[in-house]
A and B are shown apart, each in its own frame.
Chain A
């Protein structure tokens, strides 16, 4: 569908956001509200010898000071419970919270924070992933064996989660190859960097707390508060005002419990608003640094015989949601290629860095960058066109992926052909320009989700949904789905969302899952209301309910459009008796089982609704300085059926822009003390609007029967996957060899190009 033919949505939240009338968490204020500030450890690894908050407590205007002693003594986090709300005995990264203060204003709170005595004995920092894995390395978590991990999680010293994927016989496969190519790639950590720094406001009434918070996952936030403060979910209500972006950085449970505990202790509403620096340092959500070693065996005709990988992922100090990262990274390092023999080992390594967590397509951009750079190295080695090599070896219908999943109809090869055809690949270019090509993939994530639909007496509809809007617009698309079922207009529906006490559960704005799962719930709920409307209409029109058609705001008898009654009138009638109320949840699609041997299985080797993509990127290199400019990007994506093309194009363009940043300019720089050196927008370089290239996007729409509404798969994360890889392949063409570090900063590009020309 072309953009011109696409259904036109005016986003329900658009006018509020554009005109400034929308309210974000930081805009909320309550009578008697206090300001919260945290005392951070500001040291990456240390044994605590003294925490004295007596001066802070005695500061006039301070109404609460909390430390680990004031909250339940327990560790939390899904899968690997290794975290506490406050520092207890050992500090493991610089952003850990020693104490929290609530005071009448910011200056008083800061003075109290500064008066806290915090003494410690420094411990050697663990920063290098390979050194952390070596015998004799300092251990980040002494006592890790007692943490009580869940599921099939495999742990080792300084390894929070280990996974491997094994298929066939890797030794035999490599022995059968004419060429064996080995590469190492190293990616720096980076940040999600939503423009809105996070904010939390908590208020108690009796034994219940309401928390307004800038989270992507309200139900996870609620679960975190319930777990850490030992409360039932019925007494914790999470409300999310408008959210100023997240990109994964606001997934998980962060600071809601600290602020709720401060509000309880001070008997006042308490608000936290992060500075930009805190937004860099404190959250346990950054994109993980990674080392990738890949070895591939190929025959002279370009057939892959074996692929071996070794991956070390920088977990940072705590595991957050990252236990599945090793298995997911292994899937991306093996990649969407057919290989009879696969062996990939992948470790999530504890260090004294900020914890890693799900940032848009976690592990994928870095792993894809490594794999696809390696793929071009293979093609160069055997003298084959890199696009031809992908034509020959990528997965397709009926073929088997690295974990032995056999695919149905998928669009990877069509993505490859389309993106390449829409680019300048193969045409004559100036000597300082090149087109690089990379393919990528990403799963969809089926899960439970719920919604209520009601139509009130005046014919106005409401969708009360657990889904969360983080800017993608997918919640906005729910109005369209409900309207289609009911013969109404999207504008007839109001969205009631982001309130855990109003709506049934949804996973939240995470895993590109809103349309996939909540779309299913909304359609099912709308169908209940549609059946109710047909019953009322059948009475009014003296026809069988099964013959009633809902369209264009009316119910009419099938075949007799003149025998009709308006939905507004039907809603008025229903309001006097059996009301129009529907509920939906539906059965999530199945996850396919796979036959490869998966040690440390975290459930991400068999992919439901697999998405595929190809980016072809034209870059210009300033050879004297190493500065790379991305001129244009041709993108093709198989995310199944596209329901809202305007929003879908926006997701691709945004994901690509984020990918350019990861490719060229965004990377955390650590000092020898394991502290971030560029925790600010001046020295951590995001791409700006002025840097954005021309993006041409085509969707390869293959409805997936085992995915979301009308065969839609997820989308929001996938566009972030292959951009850096495609840029890398263009740069490698221009300077003769790959830049093996991410981001590929001008100085790194220049250094490689100097090295290869001398």
Chain B
């Protein structure tokens, strides 16, 4: 049993190579252990003091969000809210104020829950994960990182250090909405993120949509080219159809598969609607769920 406080990424990776699990906010690890999901690991390495992992700034080909950036930071960071609004929408819905204050983006991504809130926005933005291992750093596309519920393709001795987000284009907007049964301490029943770039005539030039809690991982919706050239209402309706068709939800305590399939279409429609309106310059405050009275709002 050991507890290491890492002062550098190298120290963290070394401890992980010796079997330690990284801990930052602990909102998944500790809560999961107390729920009996899985016991706390014998060996832990605290990464919360790696200051360079807590920064938001320029990165290769766009912007870089450190793995230790908290949900509370993301939801109010002016740069994120302006350029990657869906990520702020998602961060603002996570857990409770205390969860958001200590829970990190890196933790949310590596916990790899199919119901995670930040995953669908990241997928829509085409984000990539930067991971550090004993042999150095490498970049992993998110759809290759997430391999199933709670599993990733990262090795046990690889540490997520940042998410790289491509530069946003002009006339773009994004949004994340989820179905929720209450306004705090909630997990997405289903969710959808949309990123949209508008043509000069206001129709959709390009769009991407990703879904939460309807598959073993966060999934991108295929065939969103079908939205190109459509005006807002038609684009949103098309996204709804694509989302419902492509979802492969399960039935569990939170919802039946058929209700999830229906609702993920509703969420996709609303995400595309809000993303288009933001792209057109309308100000819709973060999170969309509260601003537009979606779900329990």
Contacts and interface: CB of A to CB of B under 8 A. Distances in A.
Query: Do these two chains interact?
Result: yes
Interface of A: 277, 620, 622, 624-625, 627, 629, 664-665, 669, 677-678, 680-683, 685, 687-691, 745-747, 750-751
A665 B181 contact: yes
Contact of A622 (B35, B255, B293): B293
B184 A690 contact: yes
Contacts of A687: 182
Nearest to B253: A683
13 contacts: A620-B293, A622-B295, A625-B295, A627-B179, A683-B254, A688-B185, A689-B184, A690-B182, A691-B182, A746-B181, A747-B255, A750-B259, A751-B259
Contacts of B183: 688, 690-691
Nearest to B297: A629
B36 interface: yes
A622 B254 contact: no
Nearest to A747: B259
A651 to B, nearest CB: 23
Contacts of B36: 277
A432 to B, nearest CB: 9
A688 B266 contact: no
Contacts of A664: 181
B152 to A, nearest CB: 22
A624 B264 CA distance: 11
B182 A747 contact: no
Contact of B296 (A629, A677, A751): A629
A662 to B, nearest CB: 14
B72 interface: no
Contacts of A683: 253-254
Given A624-B266, A665-B181, A689-B184, A747 B293 contact: no
A681 B255 CA distance: 16
A620 B36 CA distance: 37
A627 B296 CA distance: 6
A689 B183 CA distance: 9
B256 interface: yes
B181 A627 contact: yes
B294 A622 contact: yes
Name the prevailing secondary structure of the B interface residues: loop
Nearest to A748: B259
B25 to A, nearest CB: 18
B35 A625 contact: no
B253 A669 contact: yes
Contacts of B297: 629
A665 B262 CA distance: 20
Contacts of B181: 627, 664-665, 685, 745-746
B46 interface: no
Interface of B: 35-36, 179-185, 187, 253-256, 259, 262-263, 266, 293-297
A523 B216 CA distance: 65
A677 B184 CA distance: 22
Contacts of B184: 688-691
A623 to B, nearest CB: 10
A690 B185 CA distance: 10
Contacts of B185: 681, 688
Query: Which 7 pairs show the lowest CB-CB distances between chains A and B?
Result: A690-B183, A690-B184, A688-B184, A624-B266, A683-B253, A747-B259, A691-B182
A223 B1 CA distance: 47
A750 B181 CA distance: 13
Contacts of A627: 179-181, 295-296
Contacts of B35: 680, 682
A625 B182 contact: no
B182 A688 contact: yes
A677 B182 contact: no
A6 B181 CA distance: 37
A629 to B, nearest CB: 6
Contact of A625 (B187, B256, B266): B266
B263 A665 contact: no
Contacts of B180: 627
A750 B295 CA distance: 12
Contacts of A629: 293, 296-297
A689 B184 CA distance: 8
Q: Which of A745, A747, A751 has the most CB of B within 10 A?
A: A747
A161 to B, nearest CB: 32
B107 to A, nearest CB: 17
Contacts of B266: 624-625
A690 B96 CA distance: 10
A627 to B, nearest CB: 5
B186 to A, nearest CB: 8
Contacts of A624: 263, 266
Contact of A685 (B182, B293, B295): B182
B256 to A, nearest CB: 6
A751 B258 CA distance: 11
Contacts of A746: 179, 181
A678 B253 contact: yes
A74 B40 CA distance: 43
A327 B255 CA distance: 36
Contacts of A277: 36
B274 to A, nearest CB: 14
Most buried by B among A627, A677, A678: A627
Given A682-B35, A688-B184, A691-B184, 19 more contacts: A277-B36, A622-B293, A624-B263, A627-B179, A627-B180, A629-B293, A629-B296, A683-B253, A685-B181, A687-B182, A688-B183, A690-B182, A690-B183, A690-B184, A691-B182, A691-B183, A746-B179, A747-B259, A750-B259
A681 B182 CA distance: 13
Given A665-B182, A680-B35, A691 B296 contact: yes
Contacts of B293: 620, 622, 629
A682 B34 CA distance: 12
Nearest to A623: B266
Nearest to B185: A688
A625 B263 contact: yes
A625 B183 CA distance: 15
Contacts of B187: 682
Nearest to B266: A624
B137 to A, nearest CB: 35
Contacts of A625: 179, 263, 266, 295
Nearest to A677: B253
Nearest to A750: B259
B28 to A, nearest CB: 12
A92 B272 CA distance: 52
A688 to B, nearest CB: 4
Contacts of A685: 181-182
